[in-house]
Amino acid sequence: MASTDIVIIGGAIVGASIAWSLREEGFAGSIALIERDPQFTCSATTLSAASIRQQFSIAENIRLSRFTLGLFRELKKHFGDDADIGFREKGYLILAGPEGGSILEANHAVQLAEGADIVLEDAETLQKRFAWLSGEGLSAGAYGRSGEGWFDAHALLMLFRKALRQRNVEMITGEVSSQSGARATA
C-alpha cells in the first residue's frame, strides 16, 4: 500500500458502508479498507441485535436512520435481485413512567418533524394495541409503526463487501497503530 487516497480503519459495517457510499457517490480515487478480524468474530456488527429505529431525540440521528431505511427499501436496486437482509419492519416500543412522559413527548415532536412514523399513546391505548402489556406504572409509550425493526447485519455486511470487491476497493487484513502505521498481511 504505497499510496492510497483514502484509508478506512475498520472493515465491518461502518467502514464498509463508508467505502461503498464513496463509490456510490462517484469517488474514483483509491480506497483501502483495513480490518484486523476479516471473519468478524468479535465485531459489533455481527454480535449486535441488528436493529434500526427512528426514536431518537436528535434530528440528525433520525435523518441517519431514515437514510439507512431508504437503502434497506432499495436493497435490490443497489445490490441485485438476490439481495436480502431479512428486514422485519415490526417497530420499536419505548415506554415511560410518569416522570418520563414529558421526555417522550419532546422526542416525539422531533421525530414527527423529521417524518418518522411514530405514535405516542397513553397506557390505556398501549394495552389495547399490545394485549400482553401491563399498563401499571406507565404514563405513555412511543411506537414506530413503520421504518423500525430488525435485520441480518452479517448479510448486509456481506452485500457491502461483495460490492466493494467489484468496485476496486482494496481490503487489507491488518492493524493500525499510532506508533508503527499500518501493518498488513496478505
Residue 104 and residue 93 in one domain: yes
Give the domain extent around 181. 1-50+152-186
Residue 65 and residue 144 in one domain: yes
pLDDT tens-digit series, residues 160-174: 999 999 999 999 999
Record the pTM.
0.86
Q: What's the whole-number average pLDDT of the chain? A: 93
Residue type, 50: A
Residue 158 and residue 112 in one domain: no
Residue 133 has pLDDT above 90, yes or no: yes
Cell of 69: 431505511
Burial of 180 (0-12, 13-18, 19+ CB in 10 A): exposed
> Binning pLDDT at 50, 70 and 90, where does residue 180 land?
low
The number of folded domains in the chain is 2
Residue 170 and residue 139 in one domain: no
Which CATH number do you get for residue 40? 3.50.50.60
Q: From CA 19, how far away is CA 167, in angstroms rounded?
A: 10
> Binning pLDDT at 50, 70 and 90, where does residue 186 land?
very low
With a pLDDT cut of 70, the percent of the chain lying above it is 95
Burial of 110 (0-12, 13-18, 19+ CB in 10 A): middle
